[in-house]
């Protein structure tokens, strides 16, 4: 390494397991596939809450306190960046293993874009109209790299790039859905943080030394309950999950 380069430590993620999910607690994909403006989003939750979500589905935030979900009122809040979802589930390097949820959400006929922090009255109106809301972050997945999945579902994969909202309160894009019937949990992704070394030069360029994303031991198996089923999925679905995990980079 030359004198004009610095070795810094960053954090990546590896895929440990990928589960396909079916549950009677939320609409099946078949029930929402014809709804408008569908997008595949990351949802973060503590591991201790996973069974509750699988049993009851995602519920809107029930209070206006400074906790995840409060900015948009009583909403289910997800993101198109896995890094943001990881914050919601409080994963960190000293707690490297956890789960992230991938869900298909319909944002409805009309999408409200928010670049600042909504006031209490604006949040109330959004709740009443049950509009799909996109909070624009300072970083966003490169739209040129987005792909369209089955039935017109937008998959916001690609590297994170600066957005036009450079002074906004959100680091990453967040989406608020007010009606649980507009969301269907599709995948449960077991992930593990990995330390990586990155070489940064004075011009701002960088080169990653280690820590490529990988899918490990994607095989059959699963958990069956009266109300939901979690099934480890085969590689035909794994490629999609790994592709959108590119958005995990900070």
> Own/partner pairs for 112-121, CB < 8 Å, 24+ apart?
114/72, 115/165, 115/168, 116/168, 116/169, 117/71, 117/169, 118/71, 118/72, 118/73, 120/64
Query: What distance in Å separates the CA atoms of residue 153 and residue 203, rounded to the nearest whole number?
Result: 38
How is 167-219 classified by DSSP, letter by letter? Answer: T-S-SB-EEEE--GGGEEEEEEEEEEEEEEEEEEETTS-EEE-S----B----
- Candidates 64, 191, 171; CA nearest to 118 is 64
Classify the C-alpha dihedral 136-139-144-150 as positive or negative: negative
Catalytic residue among 22, 30, 110, 174: 174
Q: Is 174 a catalytic residue?
A: yes
Active site residues: 174
């Amino acid at each position: 390494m030359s004198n004009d380069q610095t070795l810094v430590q960053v954090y990546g993620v590896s895929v440990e397991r990928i589960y396909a999910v079916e549950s009677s607690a939320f609409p099946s994909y078949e029930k929402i596939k014809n709804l408008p403006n569908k997008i595949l989003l990351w949802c973060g939750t503590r591991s201790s809450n996973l069974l509750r979500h699988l049993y009851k589905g995602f519920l809107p935030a029930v209070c206006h306190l400074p906790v995840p979900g409060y900015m948009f009122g009583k909403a289910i809040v997800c993101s198109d960046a896995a890094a943001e979802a990881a914050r919601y589930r409080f994963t960190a390097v000293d707690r490297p293993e956890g789960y992230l949820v991938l869900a298909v959400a319909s944002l409805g006929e009309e999408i409200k874009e928010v670049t600042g922090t909504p006031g209490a009255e604006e949040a109330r109106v959004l709740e009443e109209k049950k509009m799909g809301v996109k909070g624009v972050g300072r970083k966003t997945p490169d739209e040129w790299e987005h792909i369209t999945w089955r039935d017109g579902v937008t998959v916001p994969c690609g590297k994170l790039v600066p957005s036009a909202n450079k002074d906004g309160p959100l680091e990453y894009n967040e989406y608020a859905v007010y009606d649980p019937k507009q969301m269907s949990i599709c995948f449960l992704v077991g992930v593990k943080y990995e330390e990586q070394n990155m070489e940064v030069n004075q011009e701002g360029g960088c080169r990653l030394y280690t820590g490529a994303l990988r899918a490990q031991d994607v095989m059959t198996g699963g958990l069956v309950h009266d109300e939901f089923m979690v099934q480890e999925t085969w590689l035909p679905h794994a490629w999609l999950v790994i592709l959108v995990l590119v958005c995990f980079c900070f």
